[in-house]
Structure 1
């Protein structure tokens, strides 16, 4: 009797474990930092559609604050990761790839013809010849400007550096600050450095610098600041910009005290009905005609942690998000550009300009603090802000950044 009872108990335990396993296998855990209203709404719709298309899968969707997410994701990936995480392309992704924390999803790319459909995004998703995630949105950077002020002072949209400097002088001479900027939180100065370096030295050099392969004391880096001097030293940037955040620098543009703002397209969402008709957009001007135009186009992505428990359903989710109709839906809400070139961006003048500009670009960078090591980015952005306030200290600043590069990348 005891033997029979033990066998029955063993069968029940096995049945329970089998049933438990099947329940867990149908749960897909996703951790996200898409907590702002527009992305929050967009992803709720995506998940509802995914569950409708996959009735055997239940999604557990965990939302986190942006800043908290940046810290906690490092703990999840090492200890008990979810099945899908939201993150960023470029060096931000590569940092986790190099530590073996992101799953190789090249199979998803191959099975879904993604090399063709995501041709412009593919380099930012590739490390060591393999793909490690799926991008879902990106946006252009460029120069947002007051059309009415340009018309008032008979300024044509500048396409070359000389025209850019001349336009700045005309504005300054007429009591208008050429460029508003707030460098309180540093990254806005990095946007200027990205564009200056890509226009002076080209994208390949820029990426080598981001990867720690070029000294900051290299004459080619110094040449970037020599050009930048032509805008900084005459006082063409907003006074006391180090005391303003990027948001706090906006009113100077909107009230006509400043004429231009180098910024990402998220700026356009803040234009009021009164301001919008006065605003325009143009590509950062050419400095060296022999250097092809590359652009900053930060890209947001999703990934499968290497230690995820439900990789099968995670792969289904990544493939689902890669579809053009899903990418169209997401970016309608975000007012940004889909990464699948078969998806349709919203009909918006700034998005239309961005799509055209990025489609013709020689390549894209992610942004300084996404493309280089976090330790290097922190010191680099401090240095750029310091230069903009004290341009005569550039040699000391570059020597300090070179020490940081050597320490960070350990040659």
Structure 2
């Protein structure tokens, strides 16, 4: 398994030179979709998000280039697909193409179970492999055990993503808080808000956002070797080592100090984001997928972003994958749709809507804030700073981490107990793999 080292910019610029990427019908693929007249497509991006805007345009372009083909689009929630994908994709109700989470526990598991189409040949024929840098290809390739980083290509991303800190500039100015550059300065800023009676962090403990904060804290003490051990199983992970111990203890301390509200254990990601857009919290720590939505929906205050202070490693990767179920009845059409999401028009729209395109012409990105968003991703990617996500390593690990972090928020678990709890399924998965 390789380490991500090639820059985002190189992958982006390569597209213009290497791909024509016009929608075309796949001939000789041998799948039953050559004569299909319907494409059933699922994804879970909101219509005002950068991906939602770009993919709606991709659907329009697909319809224009495929007269007579009906597109049946269904927006699902992240949780619906996360919890039910295996069952659905193993049935006759499987869509022809869908957005799916990347990583060993999700796309890797489904590829191991034979539920996803091998896209390696299509990636070579259509130039997808050349459009994506090695850093971004880490999450597209899975070996026979479903472990990412090598093997066949089972999914194609058309955007990148990373976790950052969103902040309310008006509230920072009101409380005379400067943008921090170190973890110590960040904690001082959080303390300033709490002393003023303001809970600083908008947190969704019932879903993914809270565990991303814990992972950021752990990464403040980590290096690439730790990430490779944790994510790619290169060596055994000590769950009571300095990285995860610091992350769990610091997270618990943030709760005790009032930086994180105890009622956030029951708050979902959507409610967390809405609370930030309403100006109720000065800070939100989560992914770039919120960026376009905030740009559209925040009207009453100025806001900005910065990378988690002091970290050289950040949760992030390629974006979620377009995957084609093995039971897809329109595989050729699905491949054509993936092509369209990589076209210059869609990639530029993604970037100008607040997303992080993998193959856009930088000169076509006009908004200065969006340029900064994309440049930050390029900086992280080119410096080997993508640390993936904490829930990736084992099947069902997402729910394990949600429960573990909820325990830290509501005080039902000590950091030590929480780490023991999340270590067991991780190590059980290694045993199942013979590691």
Structure-2-length-normalised TM-score? 0.74
Flag the 1:176–1:104 CA change in 2: closer, same or farther, 3 A. Answer: same
- Name the counterpart of 1:58: 69
CA RMSD in angstroms comes to 3.5
Q: Which whole-Å CA distance do the structure 2 matches of 1:271 and 1:203 have between them? A: 36
Q: Which whole-Å CA distance do the structure 1 matches of 2:32 and 2:89 have between them? A: 24
Structure with higher Rg: it is 1
- Name the counterpart of 2:402: 381
Answering whether residue 357 of structure 2 is matched by residue 338 of structure 1, we say: yes
- Name the counterpart of 2:90: 78
- Name the counterpart of 1:33: 43
Q: Which whole-Å CA distance do the structure 2 matches of 1:82 and 1:29 have between them? A: 8
Unaligned ranges ≥5, structure 1: 1-20
Answering whether residue 101 of structure 2 is matched by residue 88 of structure 1, we say: yes
Flag the 1:144–1:122 CA change in 2: closer, same or farther, 3 A. Answer: same
121-130 or 354-363: bigger deviation? 121-130
SS of 2:216's equivalent? Answer: helix
**How big is the shift at 1:253?**
5.0
Report which of the two has the higher share of helix: 1
- Name the counterpart of 2:377: 358
Answering whether residue 139 of structure 2 is matched by residue 124 of structure 1, we say: yes
Flag the 1:348–1:389 CA change in 2: closer, same or farther, 3 A. Answer: farther
Q: Which whole-Å CA distance do the structure 1 matches of 2:96 and 2:283 have between them? A: 43
- Name the counterpart of 1:399: 420
Q: Deviations over 1:95-126 (max 9, x none)?
A: 11122222222233334444443224222212
Flag the 1:23–1:97 CA change in 2: closer, same or farther, 3 A. Answer: closer
- Name the counterpart of 1:235: 258
- Name the counterpart of 2:307: 283
Preserved CA contact (<8 Å) 2:393 2:426: no
Structure-1-length-normalised TM-score? 0.78
101-110 or 248-257: bigger deviation? 248-257
Answering whether residue 319 of structure 2 is matched by residue 296 of structure 1, we say: no
Flag the 1:380–1:245 CA change in 2: closer, same or farther, 3 A. Answer: closer
**How big is the shift at 1:283?**
0.8
Answering whether residue 295 of structure 2 is matched by residue 273 of structure 1, we say: no
* Residue among 102, 114, 131 paired with 2:116: 102
**How big is the shift at 1:192?**
0.4
**How big is the shift at 1:165?**
1.9
Preserved CA contact (<8 Å) 1:141 1:297: no
Preserved CA contact (<8 Å) 1:195 1:296: no
* Residue among 298, 317, 324 paired with 2:337: 317
How do residues 9-48 of structure 1 correspond to structure 2 at under 5 angstroms?
Answer: 25-27=35-37, 29-34=39-44, 36-38=46-48, 42-48=54-60
Q: Deviations over 1:233-264 (max 9, x none)?
A: 43322353224444545676567664322123
- Name the counterpart of 2:218: 197
Q: Which whole-Å CA distance do the structure 1 matches of 2:389 and 2:46 have between them? A: 21
SS of 2:41's equivalent? Answer: strand
Q: Which whole-Å CA distance do the structure 2 matches of 1:256 and 1:36 have between them? A: 21
- Name the counterpart of 1:148: 170
